[in-house]
Chain A
Amino acid sequence: MSEAPILEVERVTKTFGGLVAVNDVSVSIPRGMIFAVIGPNGAGKTTFFNLLTGIYKPDKGRILFDGEEITGRDPAWIAARGMARTFQNIRLFGSMTAVENVMVARHVHTKTSYADALLRTPRFQREEKKALERSLELLEYMQLGHRAHELAKNLPYGEQRRLEIARALALEPKLLLLDEPAAGMNPQETEDLQRRIVGIRDDLGVTILLIEHDMQLVMSISERIAVLDYGSKILEGTPEEVQNDPRVIEAYLGRGAAEGAS
């Protein structure tokens, strides 16, 4: 069972009006891998994530997560199964503190009923304490311990990105989707992040699916890379294979550039 891929995407397509944002994309992601999705702006990478997490329903195709079909399911249901994500344009709960943001994602793991909350039963106290402790732990893990009680919207940009990862980890996911986690970070922060992503896979055993424009980051930590262009997957392979493929250069820079390079 654990040998089966964590995620299998079979020929999914998504159109917006006349625009084919994701075109017949298939991909299979083995457990424990760091897998990157790259492609020029507007290639359909974020749309692909939105399909996986249930925010959009595919027009065609199937998605299997951990051996179970999740096509067209509610995002909350998919998240509860263990698929967590961050957003390209940071989407924190601004008026909550950092630790509360993380605690929100503990929702499905907190076993308290409405009545428990009203009566403050021992179970409520226990579960609440557990949620708080785990959340603080995760903040610590993302080096945000000192920010626990500050409002999310008051954190600097790089820390907001890390807080999103901490929040996603609170779901105890099997698969973590990171949408441009290094965007807007300085080289030092990017380097820290790179180590952290590898750490998440190694320490927590979480499979990672990564969208990123920073090629230095992508090439040094991904084991496999898929390239999207105009919604279609044009290539999949190891970083070496992808780096040296003229089609990739072409996708990024246009046909003329690819010819010049070869």
Chain B
Amino acid sequence: MRKLRENPLLLSAVIAIVALVASFWLLNHPRSTLPFLLTLGALLAALLQPIPRWLKVLIGGAILLLVIPAAGFKNSFLFELGIQTGIYAAMALGLNVVVGLAGLLDLGYAAFFAVGAYTWAIFGSPQANEFMPWKIFPLPGEYFYLFMLVAVVVAAITGVVIGSPALRLKGDYLAIVTLGLGEVVRVLANNLDQPINITNGPQGITPIQRPPIDWFIALLDRFGLHLSRAEAYPLFFYLLVLVIIGIVTLVNVRLDRSRFGRAWIAIREDETAARAMGIPLFPTKLIAFATGASFSGAMGALFAAKQLYVSPESFTLIQSIMILVMVILGGMGSIPGAILGAATVTILNVDLLKSASDYLNDLRNAGFVLDLGFFKYNFANLPNQLEPAKYERMVFGLIMILMMIYRPEGIIPERRHVLEMKKEEA
């Protein structure tokens, strides 16, 4: 392994070959989990290992824009996985600003996701006719893009409203208050169907408009790819999510490397020292909080459009905790860490646990008997409660505990941008 690192040419070659092998394997077996994981591993290695930039772009571009879409046409679940990973990655990046950089433990983060989702859900469906004087709803799908920006603004304002009382508290108190206020948002969504029906209560809102993609289908047509609307939407959302991840990452990096990012880290490391260096505590924290909220809000709008349906059920405490697990798993304050954490947890959650469930179910249905001589077990007797798909919460708990014990700084620890600074200096 060390030899590999010292020889960039060899390293590049190995990564390129693994990427190539994994890609072909995935294209031939789009439904298997193993080639998919290997492909992602190759992608990750290409992005994180010290190989030439052009090779990173080549491997990253090929896997994200060619291999996964191509495999996705044979197994649309891959698109779903990609979209969900993307949505969570963007949210993890947002929470990373709040928890990772500024050190503010926010347990109500899903509230902003809900605010963004309802912003588009209400006006992108007939729901708004219930309480608006003009019966012009749903707004046409083109408005979706505008509403992503509206969702950013509304979520940021919600962040300021929730943050203003909460951020005067510290540590555990902050965590508990954000948890409570996050629940308030969900409860509001659940109950604002009376006296005026704004959110349609527990039934949720449907159908929600999607952005029109005729232009996208026409564009693909010109490249000889003839897709039906139902086939094109997953690809469209997948690509849209990639674009958004790009933007969100850029925003994250730029803030991190500005006086704001430095101020956040200073506050995280030592509030008293930060204040003594002229950093006003409350406004600086509020900016971090609103920034994180706006990321979540944007993804909420996208989520509403993708799902066609929102209900209060999608924005529970477990969602907030899941995103927190992603940030901690990846490495607090680390941008690639947040993305990796989001990918790991999402894949674990929607793919691996489910695959394991399916596998156990097959064994059960087949009445498989495990016979070790001293130990005999008939899988037909396996109780339903043992289904791995139900382990979600336990898995989050385990991840948290194991990370805290063995690697508290995360898989890809935060690394201050030492190299870039050196370059600028020269």
Contact with A along B281-298 (1 / 0, CB 8 A): 100000100000000000
Q: Residue B265 contacts which of A93, A110, A132 (CB distance < 8 angstroms)?
A: A93
A29 to chain B, nearest CB (A): 19
- Also in contact, A107 and B277, with CB within 8 A (given A95-B414, A149-B422, A151-B416): yes
Q: Residue A97 contacts which of B266, B333, B421 (CB distance < 8 angstroms)?
A: B421
Contacts of A168 in B (CB 8 A): 277
- The 8 nearest A-B residue pairs measured at CB: A117-B258, A79-B278, A91-B273, A75-B275, A93-B269, A105-B277, A108-B278, A76-B280
- Also in contact, A85 and B276, with CB within 8 A (given A107-B262, A117-B259, A149-B421): yes
A64: interface (CB < 8 Å): no
Contacts of B418 in A (CB 8 A): 97, 149
Q: Residue A103 contacts which of B251, B262, B276, B281 (CB distance < 8 angstroms)?
A: B262
B265 to chain A, nearest CB (A): 6
A70: interface (CB < 8 Å): no
A241: interface (CB < 8 Å): no
* Interchain residue pairs with CB less than 8 A apart (24): A55-B272, A55-B275, A75-B275, A75-B276, A76-B278, A76-B281, A77-B280, A80-B278, A92-B269, A96-B262, A96-B265, A96-B269, A97-B416, A99-B421, A104-B262, A104-B263, A104-B274, A112-B259, A120-B254, A128-B258, A128-B259, A132-B424, A148-B425, A170-B277
Q: Residue B277 contacts which of A79, A94, A132 (CB distance < 8 angstroms)?
A: A79
Contact B279 A100 (CB under 8 A): no
Task: Tell me, in angstroms, the Cα distance from A132 to B421 when the chains sit together.
Answer: 9
Contacts of B416 in A (CB 8 A): 95-97, 100, 151
Give the nearest-CB partner of A86 in chain B: B276
Give the nearest-CB partner of A97 in chain B: B416
Contact A171 B277 (CB under 8 A): yes
Task: Tell me, in angstroms, the Cα distance from A151 to B417 when the chains sit together.
Answer: 11
Please indicate which of the listed interface residues B273, B277, B424 has the most CB atoms of chain A within 10 Å of its own CB.
B277
Contacts of A106 in B (CB 8 A): 259
Contact B278 A171 (CB under 8 A): yes
Contacts of A54 in B (CB 8 A): 275
B291 to chain A, nearest CB (A): 9
Contacts of B273 in A (CB 8 A): 87, 91-93
Please indicate which of the listed interface residues A54, A118, A124 has the most CB atoms of chain B within 10 Å of its own CB.
A118
Contact with B along A66-86 (1 / 0, CB 8 A): 000000001111011000110
A104-B277, A118-B254 are known; give 13 further A-B pairs, CB within 8 A: A54-B275, A55-B275, A76-B276, A80-B278, A84-B276, A85-B276, A103-B259, A104-B263, A104-B265, A107-B278, A114-B260, A124-B258, A131-B259
Contact B260 A91 (CB under 8 A): no
Contact B269 A79 (CB under 8 A): no
Q: Residue B269 contacts which of A74, A95, A114, A167 (CB distance < 8 angstroms)?
A: A95
Task: Tell me, in angstroms, the Cα distance from A80 to B275 when the chains sit together.
Answer: 10
A232: interface (CB < 8 Å): no
Q: What DSSP secondary structure best describes chain B's contact surface?
A: helix
Contacts of B266 in A (CB 8 A): 93, 96, 104
Classify chain B's interface size.
20 to 34
Task: Tell me, in angstroms, the Cα distance from A149 to B424 when the chains sit together.
Answer: 12
**Which B residues fall within an 8 A CB radius of A?**
251, 254-255, 258-260, 262-263, 265-266, 269-270, 272-281, 287, 333, 414, 416, 418, 421-422, 424-425
B278 to chain A, nearest CB (A): 4
Contacts of A76 in B (CB 8 A): 275-276, 278-281
A160: interface (CB < 8 Å): no
Contact A167 B255 (CB under 8 A): no
Q: Which of A40-72 contact B (CB under 8 A)?
A: 53-55
Task: Tell me, in angstroms, the Cα distance from A197 to B251 when the chains sit together.
Answer: 41
Contact A95 B265 (CB under 8 A): yes
Contacts of A100 in B (CB 8 A): 262, 265, 416
Give the nearest-CB partner of A173 in chain B: B278
Task: Tell me, in angstroms, the Cα distance from A112 to B259 when the chains sit together.
Answer: 8
A225 to chain B, nearest CB (A): 24
A52 to chain B, nearest CB (A): 11
Contacts of A74 in B (CB 8 A): 275, 280-281
A136: interface (CB < 8 Å): yes
Q: Which of A230-251 contact B (CB under 8 A)?
A: none
Task: Tell me, in angstroms, the Cα distance from A105 to B263 when the chains sit together.
Answer: 9
A110 to chain B, nearest CB (A): 5
Task: Tell me, in angstroms, the Cα distance from A118 to B248 when the chains sit together.
Answer: 11
Q: Residue B276 contacts which of A55, A97, A114, A132 (CB distance < 8 angstroms)?
A: A55
Task: Tell me, in angstroms, the Cα distance from A44 to B117 when the chains sit together.
Answer: 55
Contacts of B414 in A (CB 8 A): 95
Task: Tell me, in angstroms, the Cα distance from A129 to B276 when the chains sit together.
Answer: 23
Contact A105 B278 (CB under 8 A): yes
Q: Residue A107 contacts which of B251, B254, B279, B422 (CB distance < 8 angstroms)?
A: B279
A125 to chain B, nearest CB (A): 10
Contacts of B278 in A (CB 8 A): 76, 79-80, 105, 107-108, 171
Contacts of A129 in B (CB 8 A): 424
Contacts of A110 in B (CB 8 A): 259
Give the nearest-CB partner of A75 in chain B: B275
Contact A53 B276 (CB under 8 A): yes
Task: Tell me, in angstroms, the Cα distance from A145 to B278 when the chains sit together.
Answer: 24
Contact B275 A117 (CB under 8 A): no
Give the nearest-CB partner of A124 in chain B: B258
Task: Tell me, in angstroms, the Cα distance from A94 to B270 when the chains sit together.
Answer: 9
Contacts of B424 in A (CB 8 A): 129, 132
A72 to chain B, nearest CB (A): 14
Contacts of B262 in A (CB 8 A): 96, 100, 103-104, 107
Contact with B along A199-238 (1 / 0, CB 8 A): 0000000000000000000000000000000000000000
Contacts of A148 in B (CB 8 A): 421, 425
Task: Tell me, in angstroms, the Cα distance from A124 to B259 when the chains sit together.
Answer: 10
Contact B275 A79 (CB under 8 A): yes
Task: Tell me, in angstroms, the Cα distance from A160 to B306 when the chains sit together.
Answer: 52
Contacts of A84 in B (CB 8 A): 276-277
Task: Tell me, in angstroms, the Cα distance from A49 to B228 when the chains sit together.
Answer: 72
Contact A107 B258 (CB under 8 A): no
